[in-house]
Amino acid sequence: MAWEWLYEQPWAAALRESENAYPLIETAHVLSIVVIVGTVVAVDLRVLGLILKTEPVTRIAKALLPTTWYGFLIMLLTGVPLFAAQATQLYSNPAFRLKILLLALAGCNALLFHQTTYRTVTDWDYANTAPLSARAFAVSSIALWSAIIVSGRLIAVFHAR
């Protein structure tokens, strides 16, 4: 299986046995999630009309979303080695499975938003309140990312058992 192959890679074994590298990469991983969630939630709150009401939605999205992608890149670059080092245990960890599922849902949520409601953004760019569909996407985005953080923390709880 792919995760078993990952687990047996020499670099994965080295990371698994290292004393400092694992916690350091883990810290960078947490910080990358802070960057992703912080920027995504700020855009969501603007769509909901709760902050930055005087700024057009597109300006906020253009200023913040490139940083989200940098955060996403660091999340993958740190997350994949962290997974590889513990792949066989993590694969069966319910919290890890939930986190990956939620991550996929958050991705679909963002993709759907940009493919549907966001296409008409010029109609409500300056509006205090966006259309109901846009606000629904924003609320589910905040809920999904919060759940991703909580399930990420839960991985360690199941890992110890």
State the virtual CA torsion across 86, 108, 102, 125 in degrees, nearest 10.
Answer: 120
Residues in contact with 103: Cβ distance below 8 Å, sequence separation at least 6, in sequence order: 148
Q: In Å, how far are 16, 95, 127 from 88, measured between CA atoms?
A: 12, 14, 49
Mask of contacts with other proteins, 136-155, x by CB under 8 A?
---------xx--xx-xxx-
Q: Which is nearer to other proteins, 52 or 112 (CB)?
A: 52
Q: Which is nearer to other proteins, 1 or 160 (CB)?
A: 160
List the interface residues with other proteins, window 76-115 (CB under 8 A): none
Size of the site for other proteins (CB under 8 A): 31
Residues in contact with 71: Cβ distance below 8 Å, sequence separation at least 6, in sequence order: 32, 33, 34, 35, 36, 39
Q: Which is nearer to other proteins, 81 or 152 (CB)?
A: 152
List the interface residues with other proteins, window 22-61 (CB under 8 A): 23, 26-27, 30-31, 33-35, 37-39, 41-42, 45, 50-52, 54-55
Residue 148 φ/ψ, nearest 5 degrees: -65, -45
Give the shortest CB-28-to-other proteins separation in angstroms. Answer: 10
**Do residues 75 and 32 touch, judged by C-beta distance below 8 A?**
yes
Which residues make up the interface to other proteins (CB under 8 A)? 23, 26-27, 30-31, 33-35, 37-39, 41-42, 45, 50-52, 54-55, 62-64, 67, 145-146, 149-150, 152-154, 157
